[in-house]
């Protein structure tokens, strides 16, 4: 058991859209990621996904609405809901997801991170 300094962990990497594992609980990973630009439309068939904004502003586009999240806010995307994260400027997020969740959900492409780095 040890405490985690989120700012310190975020200082250890610079790449975008490549989540890093910083903790585990009850079959869930706690991940940190830096986001910038537009990701891709995808869904997680079997997993809910939680985005917690540490720094910046993130828009999560859904088919019928856009959700804008600012620092200190979070949003849970239910399994099966197609979404597109968009970060106009750099955003730092904490993600809570089951260990089985791929960052690209039902899509597999060059942005898919199958083996996550622990920091």
Q: pLDDT category, 101, cuts 50, 70, 90? A: confident
Summarize pLDDT for 24-74 with one digit per residue, the tens: 999 999 999 999 999 989 998 999 999 999 999 999 999 999 999 999 999
Name the pTM for this structure: 0.90
**Phi, psi for residue 66 in degrees, rounded to 5:** -115, 140
* Dist CA 60 CA 7 (whole Å): 23
Please say whether the beta carbons of 42 and 105 come within 8 A: yes
Does the structure show a pLDDT above 90 at 23? yes
Q: State the average pLDDT over residues 72-95.
A: 97
Q: pLDDT category, 100, cuts 50, 70, 90? A: confident
Please say whether the beta carbons of 92 and 10 come within 8 A: yes
Residue with tokens 């809910």: 48
What does the domain layout of the chain look like in residue ranges?
A: 6-118
As a whole number of angstroms, the longest Cα–Cα distance in the chain is: 42
Looking at 2.30.30.140, 3.90.110.10, 2.60.120.680, 2.60.120.10, the CATH number of the domain 6-118 comes to 2.60.120.10
> What is the phi-psi region of residue 6: left when phi exceeds 0, alpha when psi lies from -120 to 50, beta otherwise?
alpha
């Amino acid at each position: 058991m040890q405490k985690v300094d989120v700012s310190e962990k975020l200082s250890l990497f610079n790449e975008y859209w490549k989540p890093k594992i910083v903790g585990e609980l009850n079959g869930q990973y706690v991940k940190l990621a830096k986001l910038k630009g537009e990701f891709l439309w995808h869904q997680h068939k079997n997993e809910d996904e939680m985005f917690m904004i540490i720094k910046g502003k993130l828009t999560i586009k859904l088919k019928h609405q856009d959700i804008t999240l600012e620092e200190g806010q979070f949003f849970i995307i239910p399994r099966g809901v197609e979404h597109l994260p968009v970060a106009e400027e750099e955003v730092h997020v904490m993600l809570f997801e089951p260990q089985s969740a791929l960052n690209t959900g039902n899509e597999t492409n060059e942005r898919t991170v199958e083996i996550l780095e622990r920091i």
